[in-house]
Copies of this chain bind each other. A is one copy, B any other.
Amino acid sequence: MASMTQQRTRYHHGNLPAALAEAAARLAREGGPEAVVLREAARRVGVSPTAAYRHFANHDDLLHAVKDQALATLAGHMEAEIGSGEPLADPVEDALRRFRAIGAGYVRFALAEPGLFRTAFCRTDTPDPPDPSATRPFQILTETLDTLVRLGKIPPDRRPFAEMVAWATVHGLAVLLVDGPLARLLPEDAWGAVIDRAGDTVIEGLTHG
């Protein structure tokens, strides 16, 4: 597998779509969605801008590819965070542990890769068809909440919209920390505490204390 930076020698690239998407993703990583520039991606791959149009309908199509990839990476981080902790014996405790891990993975990804995070939620001309409820992380969140209801930790009347509330809290935290005013309000060493407090609050709020 040839590295992106190395000189291309053959006339045919081999896997230009993937290479372009990768270069575009690197742009997103460095500068967010507005840095995803078709011509620059082509430049980095060592190919003429025109060549991109053989594989992507237009600029927005390329951006969309990067966005999907960023969302998948976010999902990966969330799942990794779940897997990184060791399961707890008590099923309730373990469900709560997973719940927190999902949120922590989310925010951690946003802080570690702000460019990709912003790209994952950027606006595109063509709307993304996939329902977020169809994605892995959302499924995991839903299942975790269902488990907590089944085990009697969350009262059934608190279940509706619980995933949206949890998502909103975690997303808001991520956004406000990544480029919002929270970062200016809060010394960086307090961020962990805020994230923990947010987790506590949502859990208390859903489980009714």
Contacts and interface: CB of A to CB of B under 8 A. Distances in A.
A66 B133 CA distance: 36
A117 B109 CA distance: 25
A9 B131 CA distance: 54
Interface string A171-196: 11111100111101110001001100
Nearest to A170: B172
Contacts of A203: 205
Contacts of A160: 193, 197
Interface residues of A, number: 44
Interface stretch (A55-63, A77-85, A94-102, A161-169): A161-169
A204 interface: yes
Given A160-B197, A194-B164, A208-B204, A131 B185 contact: yes
A171 B164 CA distance: 13
Specify how many copies of this chain sit in the oligomer: 2
A111 interface: no
A196 to B, nearest CB: 9
A204 to B, nearest CB: 4
A182 B168 contact: yes
Nearest to A129: B184
Contacts of A201: 158, 162, 165, 201-202, 205-206
Given A176-B168, A181-B132, A197 B127 contact: no
A167 B200 CA distance: 15
Contacts of A200: 205
In order of increasing CB-CB distance, the 8 nearest A-B pairs are A209-B209, A172-B172, A205-B205, A201-B205, A168-B172, A171-B172, A204-B205, A168-B173
Given A160-B193, A168-B198, 8 more contacts: A128-B181, A128-B184, A158-B201, A161-B197, A168-B169, A169-B172, A200-B205, A202-B205
